[in-house]
Amino acid sequence: METEILKVTHLNKFYGARQVLFDVNFTLHQGEVLTLLGPSGSGKSTLLRTLNGLEAFQAGTLTFNGQPVVADEAHWQKLRQKIGMVFQSYDLFPNLTVLENITLAPVKIQGRSAATVQAEALALLERVGLSAYAKAYPRELSGGQKQRIAIVRALALHPELMLFDEVTASLDPEMVRGVLEIIKQLSQEAAMTMIIVTHEMNFAAQIADRVLFLADGKIVEDTPGQQFFAQPQTQRAQEFLDSMDF
Protein backbone atom coordinates (compact mmCIF):
# COMPACT_ATOMS: atom_id res chain seq x y z
CA MET A 1 0.00 0.00 0.00
CA GLU A 2 3.00 2.30 -0.11
CA THR A 3 3.38 3.17 -3.78
CA GLU A 4 1.79 6.50 -4.52
CA ILE A 5 -0.50 6.36 -7.53
CA LEU A 6 -2.01 9.79 -7.42
CA LYS A 7 -1.09 12.93 -5.59
CA VAL A 8 -3.24 16.03 -5.70
CA THR A 9 -1.77 19.27 -4.39
CA HIS A 10 -3.39 22.66 -3.99
CA LEU A 11 -5.99 21.94 -6.66
CA ASN A 12 -8.33 24.86 -7.37
CA LYS A 13 -11.07 24.93 -9.92
CA PHE A 14 -13.30 27.72 -11.14
CA TYR A 15 -16.31 27.96 -13.40
CA GLY A 16 -15.76 31.47 -14.66
CA ALA A 17 -15.50 33.62 -11.56
CA ARG A 18 -17.11 31.06 -9.28
CA GLN A 19 -14.69 28.81 -7.42
CA VAL A 20 -15.93 25.23 -7.09
CA LEU A 21 -12.90 23.43 -5.63
CA PHE A 22 -10.77 25.03 -2.94
CA ASP A 23 -7.19 23.94 -2.30
CA VAL A 24 -7.78 20.18 -2.57
CA ASN A 25 -4.90 18.00 -1.32
CA PHE A 26 -4.74 14.24 -0.99
CA THR A 27 -2.62 11.25 -1.87
CA LEU A 28 -3.82 7.89 -3.09
CA HIS A 29 -1.76 4.72 -2.69
CA GLN A 30 -1.79 1.58 -4.77
CA GLY A 31 -4.66 -0.73 -3.90
CA GLU A 32 -6.42 1.89 -1.84
CA VAL A 33 -10.14 2.57 -2.08
CA LEU A 34 -10.97 6.21 -1.56
CA THR A 35 -14.57 7.26 -1.23
CA LEU A 36 -15.70 10.81 -1.84
CA LEU A 37 -18.71 11.68 0.26
CA GLY A 38 -20.59 14.88 0.76
CA PRO A 39 -23.89 16.61 0.10
CA SER A 40 -25.09 17.33 -3.45
CA GLY A 41 -23.16 20.16 -5.00
CA SER A 42 -20.18 19.71 -2.72
CA GLY A 43 -17.90 19.16 -5.71
CA LYS A 44 -17.38 15.37 -5.50
CA SER A 45 -18.17 14.63 -9.12
CA THR A 46 -16.35 17.71 -10.32
CA LEU A 47 -13.26 16.62 -8.44
CA LEU A 48 -13.49 13.14 -9.91
CA ARG A 49 -13.90 14.48 -13.44
CA THR A 50 -10.92 16.77 -12.92
CA LEU A 51 -8.82 13.69 -12.18
CA ASN A 52 -9.14 12.38 -15.72
CA GLY A 53 -9.20 15.68 -17.53
CA LEU A 54 -12.89 15.88 -18.35
CA GLU A 55 -12.87 19.10 -16.35
CA ALA A 56 -9.99 21.55 -16.44
CA PHE A 57 -8.46 22.93 -13.26
CA GLN A 58 -6.96 26.39 -12.88
CA ALA A 59 -4.36 25.93 -10.17
CA GLY A 60 -2.51 23.13 -8.44
CA THR A 61 -0.77 19.97 -9.61
CA LEU A 62 -1.67 16.35 -10.21
CA THR A 63 0.99 13.66 -10.02
CA PHE A 64 0.17 10.28 -11.50
CA ASN A 65 2.60 7.42 -10.85
CA GLY A 66 5.26 9.89 -9.85
CA GLN A 67 4.93 11.92 -13.06
CA PRO A 68 3.44 15.40 -13.02
CA VAL A 69 0.35 15.49 -15.21
CA VAL A 70 0.62 17.80 -18.22
CA ALA A 71 -2.93 19.01 -18.47
CA ASP A 72 -3.42 19.20 -22.22
CA GLU A 73 -5.66 17.07 -24.40
CA ALA A 74 -2.87 14.95 -25.92
CA HIS A 75 -1.46 13.96 -22.54
CA TRP A 76 -4.88 13.32 -21.07
CA GLN A 77 -5.67 10.97 -23.95
CA LYS A 78 -2.73 8.78 -22.99
CA LEU A 79 -3.48 9.01 -19.28
CA ARG A 80 -7.13 8.15 -19.65
CA GLN A 81 -6.12 4.69 -20.81
CA LYS A 82 -4.62 4.21 -17.34
CA ILE A 83 -7.40 5.94 -15.47
CA GLY A 84 -10.69 4.16 -16.17
CA MET A 85 -13.92 5.96 -15.49
CA VAL A 86 -17.51 4.76 -15.17
CA PHE A 87 -20.34 7.28 -15.17
CA GLN A 88 -23.75 7.55 -13.65
CA SER A 89 -25.38 7.38 -17.07
CA TYR A 90 -24.52 3.91 -18.33
CA ASP A 91 -23.58 4.92 -21.81
CA LEU A 92 -22.57 1.96 -23.87
CA PHE A 93 -22.23 2.68 -27.57
CA PRO A 94 -25.70 1.78 -28.89
CA ASN A 95 -24.50 0.82 -32.37
CA LEU A 96 -22.05 -1.82 -31.10
CA THR A 97 -22.61 -5.20 -29.48
CA VAL A 98 -21.55 -5.78 -25.89
CA LEU A 99 -18.35 -7.48 -27.01
CA GLU A 100 -17.56 -4.72 -29.52
CA ASN A 101 -18.15 -2.10 -26.84
CA ILE A 102 -15.52 -3.77 -24.70
CA THR A 103 -12.94 -4.52 -27.38
CA LEU A 104 -13.16 -1.24 -29.33
CA ALA A 105 -10.74 0.84 -27.26
CA PRO A 106 -8.14 -1.86 -26.46
CA VAL A 107 -7.92 -2.84 -30.13
CA LYS A 108 -8.32 0.51 -31.90
CA ILE A 109 -6.69 2.80 -29.38
CA GLN A 110 -4.14 0.64 -27.61
CA GLY A 111 -3.46 -1.40 -30.72
CA ARG A 112 -3.58 -4.76 -28.96
CA SER A 113 -4.36 -7.93 -30.88
CA ALA A 114 -8.07 -8.45 -31.48
CA ALA A 115 -7.93 -12.15 -30.55
CA THR A 116 -6.25 -11.56 -27.19
CA VAL A 117 -8.54 -8.69 -26.29
CA GLN A 118 -11.60 -10.69 -27.26
CA ALA A 119 -10.60 -13.66 -25.14
CA GLU A 120 -9.95 -11.35 -22.23
CA ALA A 121 -13.27 -9.55 -22.73
CA LEU A 122 -15.14 -12.85 -22.69
CA ALA A 123 -13.38 -13.83 -19.47
CA LEU A 124 -14.34 -10.51 -17.89
CA LEU A 125 -17.93 -10.94 -19.04
CA GLU A 126 -17.93 -14.37 -17.48
CA ARG A 127 -16.79 -12.87 -14.21
CA VAL A 128 -19.66 -10.39 -14.11
CA GLY A 129 -22.12 -13.10 -15.12
CA LEU A 130 -22.97 -11.68 -18.53
CA SER A 131 -21.15 -13.90 -21.00
CA ALA A 132 -24.48 -14.87 -22.54
CA TYR A 133 -24.87 -11.28 -23.72
CA ALA A 134 -21.61 -10.91 -25.67
CA LYS A 135 -23.46 -10.61 -28.98
CA ALA A 136 -26.40 -8.59 -27.63
CA TYR A 137 -26.89 -4.87 -28.25
CA PRO A 138 -27.13 -2.43 -25.33
CA ARG A 139 -30.84 -1.81 -25.90
CA GLU A 140 -31.51 -5.47 -24.99
CA LEU A 141 -29.97 -5.04 -21.54
CA SER A 142 -31.23 -3.70 -18.23
CA GLY A 143 -29.61 -0.69 -16.61
CA GLY A 144 -27.73 -2.83 -14.14
CA GLN A 145 -26.40 -5.08 -16.87
CA LYS A 146 -25.30 -2.08 -18.92
CA GLN A 147 -23.49 -0.62 -15.95
CA ARG A 148 -21.67 -3.89 -15.28
CA ILE A 149 -20.57 -3.91 -18.91
CA ALA A 150 -19.45 -0.29 -18.68
CA ILE A 151 -17.20 -1.39 -15.82
CA VAL A 152 -15.83 -4.28 -17.87
CA ARG A 153 -15.28 -1.91 -20.80
CA ALA A 154 -13.16 0.35 -18.62
CA LEU A 155 -11.24 -2.61 -17.14
CA ALA A 156 -10.38 -3.99 -20.56
CA LEU A 157 -7.90 -1.12 -20.99
CA HIS A 158 -5.92 -2.40 -17.95
CA PRO A 159 -6.26 0.78 -15.94
CA GLU A 160 -4.17 1.40 -12.85
CA LEU A 161 -6.84 3.54 -11.28
CA MET A 162 -10.61 3.39 -11.57
CA LEU A 163 -12.99 6.30 -11.02
CA PHE A 164 -16.62 5.54 -10.26
CA ASP A 165 -18.97 8.50 -10.51
CA GLU A 166 -22.26 7.64 -8.74
CA VAL A 167 -22.50 4.49 -10.83
CA THR A 168 -25.63 3.22 -9.09
CA ALA A 169 -27.47 6.53 -8.78
CA SER A 170 -29.75 6.01 -11.78
CA LEU A 171 -30.32 2.27 -11.34
CA ASP A 172 -33.43 0.58 -10.04
CA PRO A 173 -32.86 -0.51 -6.44
CA GLU A 174 -32.77 -4.21 -7.27
CA MET A 175 -29.98 -3.60 -9.78
CA VAL A 176 -27.72 -1.73 -7.39
CA ARG A 177 -26.37 -4.65 -5.46
CA GLY A 178 -25.01 -6.54 -8.48
CA VAL A 179 -23.04 -3.52 -9.62
CA LEU A 180 -21.67 -2.79 -6.16
CA GLU A 181 -20.65 -6.45 -5.74
CA ILE A 182 -18.47 -6.17 -8.83
CA ILE A 183 -16.75 -3.07 -7.51
CA LYS A 184 -16.16 -4.82 -4.21
CA GLN A 185 -14.73 -7.88 -5.95
CA LEU A 186 -12.48 -5.67 -7.98
CA SER A 187 -11.08 -4.16 -4.83
CA GLN A 188 -10.74 -7.41 -2.91
CA GLU A 189 -9.59 -9.79 -5.63
CA ALA A 190 -7.70 -7.52 -8.00
CA ALA A 191 -6.62 -4.94 -5.41
CA MET A 192 -7.66 -2.23 -7.86
CA THR A 193 -6.97 1.31 -6.75
CA MET A 194 -10.15 3.33 -6.96
CA ILE A 195 -11.93 6.53 -6.16
CA ILE A 196 -15.66 6.20 -5.66
CA VAL A 197 -18.31 8.88 -5.52
CA THR A 198 -21.46 7.36 -4.09
CA HIS A 199 -24.58 7.97 -2.07
CA GLU A 200 -24.77 4.34 -0.95
CA MET A 201 -23.56 4.74 2.63
CA ASN A 202 -23.62 1.04 3.49
CA PHE A 203 -21.53 0.25 0.48
CA ALA A 204 -19.11 3.06 1.24
CA ALA A 205 -18.77 1.86 4.82
CA GLN A 206 -17.92 -1.64 3.62
CA ILE A 207 -15.44 -0.73 0.95
CA ALA A 208 -13.76 2.56 1.84
CA ASP A 209 -10.19 2.45 3.10
CA ARG A 210 -10.42 6.18 3.39
CA VAL A 211 -13.13 8.79 3.15
CA LEU A 212 -12.73 12.30 1.83
CA PHE A 213 -15.68 14.29 3.05
CA LEU A 214 -16.34 17.36 0.93
CA ALA A 215 -18.59 20.31 1.57
CA ASP A 216 -18.80 23.46 -0.55
CA GLY A 217 -15.81 22.48 -2.64
CA LYS A 218 -13.47 21.94 0.29
CA ILE A 219 -12.16 18.76 1.88
CA VAL A 220 -13.61 18.91 5.36
CA GLU A 221 -12.36 15.52 6.49
CA ASP A 222 -9.80 12.98 5.34
CA THR A 223 -10.38 10.00 7.61
CA PRO A 224 -9.85 6.22 7.50
CA GLY A 225 -13.09 4.52 6.38
CA GLN A 226 -14.01 2.65 9.55
CA GLN A 227 -13.41 5.66 11.69
CA PHE A 228 -15.40 8.02 9.50
CA PHE A 229 -18.57 6.01 9.77
CA ALA A 230 -18.16 5.22 13.47
CA GLN A 231 -16.91 8.55 14.63
CA PRO A 232 -16.58 11.41 12.17
CA GLN A 233 -14.28 14.15 13.32
CA THR A 234 -16.39 17.10 12.29
CA GLN A 235 -19.88 18.26 13.11
CA ARG A 236 -20.51 18.78 9.38
CA ALA A 237 -19.78 15.13 8.59
CA GLN A 238 -21.87 13.93 11.52
CA GLU A 239 -24.82 15.94 10.24
CA PHE A 240 -24.31 14.50 6.79
CA LEU A 241 -24.30 10.93 8.08
CA ASP A 242 -27.40 11.64 10.14
CA SER A 243 -29.15 13.06 7.09
CA MET A 244 -28.31 9.91 5.13
CA ASP A 245 -29.89 7.81 7.93
CA PHE A 246 -26.64 6.05 8.49
Q: Which residues bind other proteins (CB under 8 A)?
A: 52, 54, 73-74, 77-81, 84-85, 87, 89, 91-95, 104-105, 108-110, 150, 153-154, 157
Nearest distance from C-beta of residue 96 to other proteins, angstroms: 8
Return the number of the residue (91 or 172) whose C-beta is nearest other proteins.
91
Cβ–Cβ under 8 Å, residues 25 and 10: yes
Nearest distance from C-beta of residue 122 to other proteins, angstroms: 19
Return the number of the residue (22 or 76) whose C-beta is nearest other proteins.
76
Nearest distance from C-beta of residue 105 to other proteins, angstroms: 4
Query: Edge-to-edge strand order for the sheet containing 4-15?
Result: 18-29, 4-15, 59-64, 67-68
Q: What is the CA radius of gyration of the chain?
A: 18
Task: Give the DSSP H/E element, type plus range, for residue 23.
Answer: strand 18-29
Q: Determine the Cα–Cα distance for residues 168 and 173; give it in Å rounded to an integer.
A: 9
Q: Determine the Cα–Cα distance for residues 217 and 22; give it in Å rounded to an integer.
A: 6
Nearest distance from C-beta of residue 27 to other proteins, angstroms: 23
Nearest distance from C-beta of residue 95 to other proteins, angstroms: 5
What values do phi and psi take at 56, rounded to 5? -85, 155
Return the number of the residue (24 or 92) whose C-beta is nearest other proteins.
92
Residues 6+ apart with CB under 8 A from 162: 83, 84, 85, 86, 154, 155, 186, 192, 193, 194, 195
Cβ–Cβ under 8 Å, residues 223 and 210: yes
Nearest distance from C-beta of residue 167 to other proteins, angstroms: 13
Neighbours of 165 (CB within 10 A): 21
Return the number of the residue (165 or 200) whose C-beta is nearest other proteins.
165
Return the number of the residue (150 or 171) whose C-beta is nearest other proteins.
150
